[in-house]
Chain A
Amino acid sequence: MSARPIATTRSSAGMPTQRLAVWWLIASEIVIFGGVLASYIMHRLAHGIWADYAANTNAWIGAFNTFVLLSSSLSAVLAHQAAERGDGKRAANLLYLTIAGGGVFLCVKAFEWTTEISHGMTITANTFWSFYYTAAGIHAAHVIAGMIIMGFVAQTAKRNLELHRVEIIGIYWHFVDLVWIFLFPLLYIAK
């Protein structure tokens, strides 16, 4: 008798249950991020001065982080392809590369925030910076969560076990990338 959880084998919904679950998760995440971004947009449109506040954000840092996340998404999808071919070791290595991408993203973010905070642009400075740190902070928390989960997935994938998980964490990671694709122009470009 197999000890595998039923969620990894059942597909009554037309696809494996764990993949369905991650899509449900993403649907709920859209509501969370969508609410924050919609609130930001309506305040941004209502207040001309927010363009002056946004001018303090560094577009090149934002662009570099976009590049990092897009690159990590590439390694995540390549890991999925490797898992599809049954090459768990390559999948694990690519997942580690993706984790490294997340690490670079967070380091750049830490440097950026340190600079901004040292110049008085703190979360309590005004409403713009409240939105800025809240939106980017929630996103960074998702990056951290993804990195941790990906670490566990890579551990098992390395032994050619539970390779279906590679796709699942990949879908989540692409969503995190997708959120940043919208955060970047909102927080860094529109000045």
Chain B
Amino acid sequence: MSNHAEAHHDDSHYYKIYFTLLVLLTISIIGPMFGHKHVTLVTAFGIAVVKAFLVAKNFMHINLTPRYVIYTITTTLIFMLLFFAGTAPDVMKDHGTNWEKPSWIAAQKAYEAGDLVGASHGARITGHGAGHGEGHGEGHEAAHGEADAAAHGGGHEGGGH
């Protein structure tokens, strides 16, 4: 059992936190209804961070654990950010200096033209011409890209050309 007395709150404390979480949940639902990007970011994701903090502090009592536990958890979160920062530059781009993702480019063009079906089938549109299925991207292109790659004797996975 817990050996830190600080965790012994009256039950009413947890009800207060619970109702606070419900109010925050309501705000996170209503906020995006305004259709404003920044309001959505703040109300949906900003409030998610606040809710997570309330749960971690008041329900999990993370603030009452030894300092090294908090450091460990923080380290894993930093690793997550490092993973994002390290891979996002390649994953999120559709071309680089010596490579491109034809299926993504086709899908993006189709999407910008309002062609949702084309956007969903970017790899099929470009797959035969390019000859290399990406195995990534919009809509059905993952499956089609691989199918196209197989049809052409195997594509170049991931990096493209």
Binding site for B on A (CB under 8 A): 11, 13-16, 19-20, 23-24, 26-28, 30-31, 34-35, 37-39, 41-43, 45-50, 52, 59, 63, 66-67, 70-71, 73-74, 76-78, 80-81, 83-84, 124-127, 130, 163-164, 166-167, 170-171, 174-175, 177-178, 181-182, 184-185, 189-191
Contact = CB atoms under 8 A, between A and B. Distances in A.
A150 B7 CA distance: 21
B140 A34 contact: no
Contacts of A14: 66, 68
A182 B116 CA distance: 28
Contacts, number: 167
Contacts of B120: 49, 126
A181 B60 contact: no
Given A42-B91, A81-B11, A182 B59 contact: no
A130 B142 contact: yes
B142 A127 contact: yes
Contact of B92 (A34, A42, A124, A130): A42
B8 A191 contact: no
Contacts of B44: 185, 189-190
B14 A74 contact: yes
A132 to B, nearest CB: 13
Contacts of B75: 27
A163 to B, nearest CB: 6
A184 B48 contact: yes
Interface in B96-155: 104, 107-108, 111, 116, 119-120, 136-143
B150 to A, nearest CB: 15
17 contacts: A14-B66, A23-B73, A35-B83, A37-B80, A38-B87, A46-B94, A47-B137, A71-B18, A73-B55, A74-B15, A74-B18, A77-B59, A80-B7, A174-B55, A178-B60, A182-B52, A184-B48
Contact of B48 (A45, A80, A185): A185
- The 8 residue pairs across chains A and B that have the minimum distance between CB atoms: A34-B80, A185-B44, A14-B66, A46-B92, A30-B76, A164-B1, A189-B44, A38-B84
Contacts of A185: 28, 44-45, 48
A93 to B, nearest CB: 14
Given A49-B111, A70-B22, A130-B142, 5 more contacts: A35-B80, A39-B91, A67-B22, A70-B18, A126-B140
A69 to B, nearest CB: 10
